[in-house]
Chains A and B, each alone.
Chain A
Amino acid sequence: GQSLEQPSEVTAVEGAIVQINCTYQTSGFYGLSWYQQHDGGAPTFLSYNALDGLEETGRFSSFLSRSDSYGYLLLQELQMKDSASYFCAVKGDKIIFGKGTRLHILP
């Protein structure tokens, strides 16, 4: 079967760094994407990794290891507005989204 696993909740302090992990099991693999969704809003694209390594976009970075079927999203200099749910998604034979990680940020 195909599946994505990510933690359901993560808590961090404002200004700190947090890492959200995602492991996947899919038939075929094209790449790993990350999306952010605020309460009541639509998912918005954050990053995409097709090759192994780290991709950096401002305060957000995403990492992929295809041999380990593993990736993570790294958020630096956390701000209160980063409080949201974060989804990893994989395109293999099908498009699969993880169930999301709720990020709580403490002042």
Chain B
Amino acid sequence: DSGVTQTPKHLITATGQRVTLRCSPRSGDLSVYWYQQSLDQGLQFLIQYYNGEERAKGNILERFSAQQFPDLHSELNLSSLELGDSALYFCASSGGWGGQETQYFGPGTRLLVL
């Protein structure tokens, strides 16, 4: 158990819909990272927040957005969903902001868009 929690574990929705994925980092960690993992693309870094502020942005689509709240939990919002958004979404946390520290991954949210 990494100490990072993600909800929900599974999510099934339809194209065009909007969903919110939630992540709680390990106690004391200030950074939260979001990743998308699909079979053909591997792990793709989406975005990083550090202590409530956006720190780094990767290959995140404009239809996706994220935020980190004062209690340090984070939410990833996916809107206008397409079939290709079906993937495993991981969040990870670390203590620092540089991105080079050890990242602890949550169990993931499996999203299926029908």
Contact = CB atoms under 8 A, between A and B. Distances in A.
Interface string B86-114: 00001010000011111111111000000
A51 B58 CA distance: 25
> Chain A binding site: helix, strand, loop or mixed by DSSP?
strand
B65 interface: no
Interface string A41-62: 1111100101000000000000
17 contacts: A30-B98, A30-B99, A33-B102, A33-B103, A41-B107, A42-B107, A42-B108, A43-B92, A45-B104, A48-B101, A87-B42, A87-B43, A95-B33, A95-B56, A97-B35, A98-B42, A99-B42
Interface of A: 30-31, 33, 41-45, 48, 50, 87, 89, 91, 94-100
